[in-house]
Amino acid sequence: YARYHKSGSDYFLIVGGFDHKTGDENDTEKHFKDLMKYVDENFKYKEVVAKWSSQFYLSADGLPYIGKMPGEKNIYISTGFTGNGM
């Protein structure tokens, strides 16, 4: 997926993909390399200003988890909605 963000007069390209299942990949850096190859082949850009990796949770029963965060008094979470929100 690809999106852009404008901040002032600057435009930022946000590109993601090349996902893998948590714990099933020994070389997680390979996914960044594959993503950068895709970006280089499909977009013009000046520089990479940030990169990140994350995990999004999918529950075993397919239902999201909404409730109190374990071990925290006043923190509530909602996760497992299948997707990254981009």
One pLDDT digit (tens) per residue for the chain, 86 residues: 899 999 999 999 999 888 877 777 888 889 899 999 999 999 999 999 998 877 666 777 888 888 998 888 899 988 777 666 54
Q: Is the pTM of this model over 0.75?
A: no
| HEC secondary structure over 6-61 | EECCEEEEEECCCCCCCCCCCCCHHHHHHHHHHHHHHCCCCCCCCCCCCCCCCCCC
